[in-house]
Amino acid sequence: MRIAGSIGAVFFALAGCGSHSNGPAYVELPGSVALQNPDFEAPSGTDDVIPGWETSQHAGPISYKLGVDQSVSATGVASFRIERIREQVYGQISQEAPIAAHAGRTIELTAQMKTADVGPAGWQLMLTFTGGVPNPRRLAKPLAGTQDFQKVAIRTQVPQGAQKVEIAAILKDHGTAWLDDVHLRVVD
C-alpha cells in the first residue's frame, strides 16, 4: 500500500517512489553496489517523494509520518525519519538493486540508524533477495528504546539465482526512527 500526502515542509505520510528517467543518479563507490540517494540528500520531487526510495505500510489507514528530516542526520544535512502515529504491523522504506552479477560473493549492507522511544519489536535493517532463491531474507538485530545513531550491518553471501536485492528498514513497533548513510558493497 502506498499513500502520498504532505505533512509540513519535510515530512509526508507514506509516499512511494520508483525510478524516474529524470531521477537521481545511482551512487557507486569502489566495491559498492549502486544505490539511489543513500544519504537522503537529494531534494524531494514535485510530488514529495524521496528520490530512489519507496515507502509502504502493512495495510489500512495512514499510520506513519515519514519523510526527509533536515534537522537530524548522521552525515550530511538530512536523514529519513519514520514515526508511527497509530497501531500498525509495520512501516518501511526500501529500494531494489540488481545483484545477479555478484552471485556467490559476500556483500555487506550498512546504515546509520537511530531510535526514540521505539518499542521492543524495533527498527530493523533487512535484505531480501528475489529470483526464486530459498531463504531470501536476512535481518539485523532490531534497535529499540532511545539510541543515538549507530552503524548497523548485515553481511551475507548472495545466493545463486538471485536477480535483485531489496534493501529496507522496517519499523515494527511504536516510536520514531531515523535512517542515514546507507551502503551496499561487495566485501570479498
Which residue, 41, 38, 36, is CA-closest to 22?
A: 36
Residue whose grid cell is 519507496: 54
* pLDDT of 20: 35
Element of type H or E holding 122? strand 106-130
Q: Are 177 and 82 in contact (CB under 8 A)?
A: yes
Q: What is the pLDDT of residues 145-158, one digit of tens each?
A: 999 999 999 999 99
Q: Are 66 and 91 in contact (CB under 8 A)?
A: yes
Contacts of 87 (CB under 8 A, 6+ apart): 63, 174
Indicate yes or no: pTM above 0.85: no
* pLDDT of 134: 83
* pLDDT of 27: 45
* pLDDT of 32: 81
Q: Measured between alpha carbons, how far is 90 from 176 in angstroms, rounded to an integer? A: 12
Q: Are 89 and 71 in contact (CB under 8 A)?
A: no
What is the CATH code for 6-186?
A: 2.60.120.260
* pLDDT of 76: 95
Q: Mean pLDDT per segment of 10 residues, for the chain of length 188 residues? A: 34 34 43 90 79 92 92 96 94 96 95 98 97 90 98 96 96 97 94
